[in-house]
Structure 1
Amino acid sequence: MKTVKQTMLVVLGLLFFALQGCTHDDYIPVPGQDGADGAPGVSGTASCESCHSVEHKKPIIDAYNLSAHGIGVGGTKHIYGTNTTYADGSLNSNRAFCSECHSQEGYIDVKKYGKANPRGYDNFNSINCEGCHGVTHRSFNFTKDGNDYGLRNIAAVPQKINPTFFLNASPTGGVSSANTCIGCHQARPDSNGYYKRPVFEMNEKDASGNVVITGSGSTQFYRFWSQRKFADAVGPYPAGTTYYKNYSNTGTGVHASEQGDLWMGINGIDIEGTTTRLPAAKTAKHYTNSSCVQCHMDKPKAGTVDNGSHTMKLSFQTCVSCHPAPETLLTTFHAKFDTEVEKLKSALLAKSNYFIPDSRGAVSIKAFDSTTNLPFPTSPASGTTTATVWYQSRTDFPLKYVQAYWNYKLVIGDEGKGVHNPPYTMALIQNSIEALK
């Protein structure tokens, strides 16, 4: 057996060396005609390049730099992203909540993890391209599935004043690019969770756990309060043991920029005892037949660069499909809106025990202690170590007055002056005027 193996190895060795000497110099190819070229294929990145190219992105970036999102409110970036951490480890939690919409970092974390960092962010920026976009496309078959533009959120979003309920910009209950918008453009409470919608269902309580709305029927009341106490716990940080913070609901009213609520016809209050009823939610033509993107990211007018696209400013190109002269119609409607809002302001200010004009020409709540008849104190300020704890509550407001004020704040907080849902807006104003008679 050993001899056989040795013989096989010798044969294999000789064969290896023999093959090393083989050449193909004597090979002569058979001449023939060239074959026909195949049909040209489609570039594998062609559909991507329609968006992901400098040529496409440059005009979008220029447009965004003209938008209110790009330049900020009043030319300021209006960015909030951090919290004050007190020496005892507790937080003055007044900016982490704001960062959800007022910073790139907070907005992205909410979309990724469902909430912003309660500590806030040491470095924070205004929202830019990668705030709204930046994730992998859900599908690359744009022809079949549509282009989602890599938006971070196209599904229903939590309602900020009631996070167990979800808002959906899609009339069919599916997904919608407008859900990117209404994630922030909706009514929301203050950073401590106060400023609730003033209805019984919200079960609003003050900082000590006492209910704010009392009574029944025509004798329902709403209590405004201010309280100074140890800073609350904001997980994972402990409650204050040394530092104090001021809490109150004395500015009750929705935060500005609630365009989504009016567009969908939600969150206004149909005040009991009035005759004007509010249209049903999600029935407005602007909701069923249009969307945020269709109107605010339309094609710019020919020869212009300061409207449409990512400026978010109306170019009226879509509007003409329903309105022959949309710009004239808008001017007329805004004039009507201003007139009706002035009537509501007058009705509120006529209740001088409850409302006062403010320095901006709007209406504010007249918040004062019912015992001393003095305004709620603003000092000592939040974050001091003074042991003095004050709690003040004022004479209760009739609930329907507070609800009228909520409706007032809802309509004036929309810079569109009611155009997102004209029937709903006008009904809210009239309903509130009736409640104040």
Structure 2
Amino acid sequence: MTMWKAAKSINLTQDGGVSNLCVKCHQPRPLTTSSSLSNGDVVDYAGLVTDPAATFYDNAVGNAAPNKLLPSYRMHVHYGTVGAVFAGTGGVEFTGSQTYSNSPHTAGASCSSCHMAAITGIAGGHTFKVRSGEGALTSSTTWNFNGCNVSGCHSANPITSSSTLWTATRSEIKALLNTLATKINVIGGGTDILHNEPSGESNLWAGLTTGNYDGYLNIYDPSSNPAGVWKNPGSTSSWTQAQKDTNNALPIFPSLKNVHLGAMVNFQFGLREYSLGIHNFKYSKALLQNSIDALTAAGY
């Protein structure tokens, strides 16, 4: 399958290629520019990398050209980042201290290998779950490691929820997500720009970061984010006067450089692949660490 206007492709050949059926849905959607301010084309991720200091969004200009895309609550790459992360492609690949490569899972396991393993409790089989329950991660969350502990994988040293290979991997990616979130939020000058939601009922990724971020921006939207703390720079023509007044009372959302946008995309990739690096630790770590490096180089 192809994505990013056929600039990127995924072909997971292991296990007869069955994972490609999963990835057909569980793939990210690229950010696209505004069809009214620009041509609605896919954002040039390569351009974010080659010119990180360039202005992507100028808040002094706001809802007008040459801005091509306005920040909003849902300025994101959708929810299916796991397919791209597992395949090791699709992120904004800044140059940094980490080399982009893939973990053995990418070539040696399929989605069903782990997600449809022999059932333990309510996880495995046709549930397609690898953990018990829904919502935020807690100390009582249990996992199904039957797909991990098979011949050719981890049978020699079976994985459990207390195994170092499991805990250290997830702890390292969580720490990188926390660090990257902190650097992204610096843009707000004391007010977080990332939206957080501690409820596991509303936030699929609650517990994956200390701040319980969900990948959205905390920009006001009377329907989607009525408690937003930043002024929405988009059109408000369909809003009530009270909603317009609420919006106008909020601080103006900061300008963004290419490096900021790229870091946000990679934060969404690292967060929304949902496993804290288990799917593809090497690629996840490279995206997150190199984004941190790029922001550090830019003075953040």
Shorter chain as denominator, the TM-score bin is 0.5 to 0.7
What is the TM-score with the length of structure 2 in the denominator?
A: 0.63
The partner residue of 1:345 within 145, 168, 181 is 181
Q: 1:366 to 1:398 in 2, by over 3 A?
A: farther
Task: State the AA in 2 paired with 1:287.
Answer: T
Q: Which protein has greater RCO, CA pairs closer than 8 Å, 6+ apart?
A: 2
The structure with the larger Rg is 1
**2:93 corresponds to which of 267, 270, 277:** 270
**Residues 165 and 219 of structure 1: is their aligned pair in 2 closer, same or farther, counting only changes over 3 Å?**
closer
The reply to whether residue 300 of structure 1 matches residue 116 of structure 2 is: no
* Preserved contact between residue 404 and residue 432 of structure 1 (Cα < 8 Å): yes
Secondary structure, aligned partner of 1:428: helix
* Deviation per residue, 1:352-410 (Å, 9 max, x gap): 25961424242654769xxxx9532563339xxxxxxxxxx987522111111110011
1:325 correspondence with 2:147? no
Instruction: Give distance in 1, aligned partners of 2:113 and 2:25.
Output: 18
Query: Which ranges of structure 2 fall in alignment gaps of 5 or more residues?
Result: 131-143, 198-211, 221-229, 240-251
**Separation in 2, partners of 1:187, 1:167:** 12
1:356 and 2:190 matched: no
- Determine if the alignment matches structure 1 residue 436 to structure 2 residue 295: yes
Taking the aligned partners of 1:276 and 1:164, their CA distance within structure 2 comes to: 23
Matches within 5 A, 1:397-416: 397-416=256-275
CA distance in structure 2 between the aligned counterparts of 1:275 and 1:311, rounded to whole angstroms? 39
1:208 aligned counterpart, secondary structure: coil
Distance in 2 (CA, whole Å) between partners of 1:366 and 1:308 is: 35
Structure 1 residue 209: Cα displacement: 2.7
Preserved contact between residue 355 and residue 364 of structure 1 (Cα < 8 Å):
no
1:256–1:333: structure 2 CA closer, same or farther, 3 Å change rule?
same
Cα deviation for residue 258 of structure 1 reads 1.6
Map of 1:112-151 to 2, 5 A cutoff? none
- Partner Cα distance (1:168, 1:412) in 2: 23
Q: CA deviation at 1:184?
A: 0.8
Q: Which runs of 5+ in 1 are unaligned?
A: 1-156, 190-194, 197-203, 228-246, 383-392
1:285 to 82, 89, 104: 104
Q: Give the Å deviation of 1:436.
A: 1.2
Output the amino acid matched with 2:126: H
Q: Which amino acid aligns with 1:430?
A: Q
Q: Is the 8 A contact 1:295 1:316 kept in 2?
A: yes
Alignment of 1:183-262 (within 5 A): 183-189=24-30, 195-196=31-32, 204=33, 206-209=35-38, 217=51, 219-223=53-57, 226=63, 248=70, 250=72, 251-262=74-85
Higher-strand-fraction structure:
1
| 1:145-189 alpha-carbon deviations (Å, 9 max, x no partner) | xxxxxxxxxxxx342x42575422215xx9511111001111014
Q: Which residue of 1 aligns with 2:137?
A: none
CA offsets 1:54-92 (integer angstroms, 9 cap, x no match): xxxxxxxxxxxxxxxxxxxxxxxxxxxxxxxxxxxxxxx
The 3-state SS of whatever aligns with 1:326 is coil
Which whole-Å CA distance do the structure 2 matches of 1:378 and 1:406 have between them?
24
- Aligned counterparts of 2:181 and 2:103: Cα–Cα separation in 1: 26
Aligned CA distance change for structure 1 residues 218 and 334 (closer, same or farther; 3 Å): closer
